[in-house]
Amino acid sequence: MLYRLAFAAVALSAAAACNGEDSAAVQPIADAPAAPAPTPSPSPSPSGTPVAGTPFARAVIADFDAPWAMTFLPDRRMLVTEKKGDLLLVAADGATRRTIATIDVGSAGQGGLMDVVLAPDFATSKRVYFSYSAAGQGGKGVVLARGVLSGDAGPERLASIETLYRATPLVTGDGHYSGRIAFSPDGQYLFFTNGERQKFTPAQDKTGSLGKVLRLTPDGKPAANNPLAAQGFLPEVWSYGHRNLLGIAFDAQGNLWQQEMGPKGGDELNLVLPGRNYGWPNVSNGSNYDGSDIPDHAPGDGYEAPKAWWNPVISPGGLMIYSGDLFPQYKGDAFIGGLSSQSLVRVDLNGTNASKGDQWSVGARIREVEQGPDGAIYVLEDGGDSQGRLLRLTPAS
C-alpha cells in the first residue's frame, strides 16, 4: 500500500487533476536511503538502488538535455532524442555519446525533436525514423522523417535525411503535436499520431490529419484501403477523435494500443480499431479547463470508449508493452510514463481489454518508457527544459 499512499500525497500536493504537459516542475528522484552493498549478480549489471514503494531497483545510466524519446539498436546502443533537436547515439552503458544529427526544429512549447524508432528492416537498411515539429506557411505542424545510420566513411551519423509526411493543416501554437511512431508487426505499415494542437474540433475534421491516428506506408504515403477514405477523410486516416497521443504500441497479439491526454481528467488508454471515432472533443471522461462539462463516453453514443481512463490524470507521456523475462509477472502489460503524476503506471492487458494495475510514484515527470534488450525497463525523465535522466529499472530483489 505504500506506493498508493505516496501517490495520493503527490496527487493532492501537485493538483494533478490537470494535465501537466505544460508544467516544467521537475523533481529529481531522491536517492533511497543508503542501500547495503550490492551483492554480485551475473546479470543484469549494474545493480541498482531500491526505489522505496516500488518493486524496482534503479540505476542512473546517463542524463540528457530535455530528452523526449529513445530506442535500442540491435547492438544494445541507444538512440535518444533531445527536444532542442539533437539525435544522440549513446553507448549501452551510457558512458559515451555522439550527436549523429541536429534537426532544425521549432522547440518552443511542446514542440521539438520527438519520437525515434528503427525501421523493421534496420539490420539491412540502417533506417531510422523520427518526428519533430516544424514551422511553415500559416503555422506549425508535426513532421515524419527518416535517415540512414551511416558509419562507412568515419564517425557514425544520420545521412540521407528525407521528409516523409507533414501534418495538415499548419496551425498556430506549440501544443499537442503528438508525433509518436509505431510499425505494424509485419513491418508493412507505419502508424503515426497527429495531435489536435489544442484546437479541439480538428479531431473530427475530415479534411485534416490533426487528432488522428494515421496508417502510412514506410515511405510515408497513405496506405492502401484505409477505412475512412470513402467517407471523405484524408486517405491516410486510420482513426479519429483523438486529443494528444503521446504513446502508441502493438502488443504481442497484434492489437494496437494508444494513450492520450485528456483535458481536466479523462486520460485514456484506447484500443485502436480501424475507422473508429474516439470522441474528442464531443465526449470525454474529463471536463474542460474552464470547468465546463464534457459529456462522458457512454454506451451507444457512437464513440469508441477508452479501455482504461484516469481521473485525476496521470498525463501519459510514453507507452511500452512489456514482453521481456526480467519481470515475468508483467509480461504482456502496458507501462505508461506519467508526466504531471510523476509516476510509472502499469495496466493489465487481457486480450482486447485493459484494467488499471499499479501506479508507482517515482518523483519525476516520466516522458518515455522503453524495454531494454536485457528485459530491464528504461525510463527517461522529462526534465522540462533542463536535464532529465535515463534510469534503468530492474527487480529490487
Residues in touch with Ca ion (CB under 5 A): 69, 71, 278-279, 370
- Entry field: residues in the chain: 397
From residue 175, alpha-carbon distances to 110, 171, 194 in Å are 5, 10, 11
Closest CB to Ca ion among residues 58, 276: 276
Catalytic pick from 176, 197, 212, 307? 176
**Please, what is the minimum distance in Å from the beta carbon of residue 377 to Ca ion?**
12
d(CA 179, CA 131): 6
Rounded CA gap, 18 and 287, in Å? 10
Terminal-to-terminal C-alpha distance of the chain: 18
State the minimum distance, in angstroms, from the CB of residue 271 to Ca ion.
12
Report the run of H or E that residue 195 belongs to, with start and end: none
Contact 263, 286 (CB under 8 A): yes
> Measured from the CB atom, is 47 or 311 closer to Ca ion?
311
Cis peptide upstream of residue 169 (ω within 30 degrees of 0): yes
Question: Cell 512549447 belongs to which residue?
Answer: 109
For residue 114, the SS3 value is strand
Residue 37 CB burial class (10 angstroms; 0-12, 13-18, ≥19): exposed
Task: Verify whether residue 242 is a known catalytic residue.
Answer: no
Residue 97 buriedness (CB in 10 A; 0-12 / 13-18 / 19+): middle
Q: Give the integer Cα–Cα distance in Å for 337 and 316.
A: 6
**240 beta partners:** 212, 277
358 close to 350: Cβ distance less than 8 angstroms: no
Nearer to Ca ion, 20 or 241 (CB): 241
Cis peptide before 44 (omega within 30 of 0): yes
DSSP assignment string, 243-312: -EEEEEEE-TTS-EEEEEE-SBS-EEEEE--TT-B--TTT--SSB-TTS---PPP-TTSSSPPPSEEESS
Of 50 and 211, nearer to Ca ion (C-beta) is: 211
- Name the residue whose CB lies closest to Ca ion: 279
Q: Which is nearer to Ca ion, 69 or 89 (CB)?
A: 69
Which of residues 69 and 170 has its CB atom nearest to Ca ion in the complex?
69
Provide, rounded to whole angstroms, the least separation between the CB of residue 92 and Ca ion: 16
CB of 13 to Ca ion, least distance (A): 28
C-alpha cell at 345: 503506471
Residues catalogued as catalytic = 176
